[in-house]
Each structure stands twice: as structure tokens, then as C-alpha cells.
Amino acid sequence: MQPPLDDFLNHELNAYIRTQLLDAIAQMASGQRYFTYNTFNVLLDADTSTATIEDELDVDRQSTLPLEAFREVLLASESP
């Protein structure tokens, strides 16, 4: 079983979601933003500088990584 981050990137992420998350990261100075999608939720936390990807269907499955690393993953996943 892949980590939730990998599943999110492979099965849920599209151009609209990528843009929405990148814009939110760019605008965040403090606080949290929570996004609910079809099978994954994304919590962006500027105060702890983390991004958490939660599996909506399995509450015990989540991936947490530094916010900047998540931004870089989103940028790297853009189509050429």
C-alpha cells in the first residue's frame, strides 16, 4: 500500500487542485487551511509549516511533510 501522499498525487491531484493548493500556500502567513476532496483531505498549517494529507476512507492513513516540501512536490507534478 502506498503512502497517502503518493495516492493523492497519482489519483486525486489535477491542475485545478494543484493551483488551489499552491495559491493557498503562497498566501498563508499563519493559521491553517483545510481542503476536502473526493478521497483525500489536505491540511495546510502555516504555524507548524506542515502539510498533512489524510485518506478520507481510512482515518488512520495520513502523510505529513514540511509545507515547503509539499509545495515542491506540487510544482514537480505539473505537466511539462
**Domain map of the chain by residue range?**
4-76
Per-residue tens of pLDDT for the chain, all 80 residues: 688 999 999 999 999 999 999 999 999 999 999 999 999 999 999 999 999 999 999 988 999 999 999 999 999 987 65
d(Cα 7, Cα 58) in Å, to the nearest integer?
13
Would you mind telling me the total number of residues written for the chain in this entry? 80
pTM of the model: 0.92
pLDDT, one tens digit per residue, over 40-56 is: 999 999 999 999 999 99
Scan for cell 499552491, then name that residue.
Answer: 22
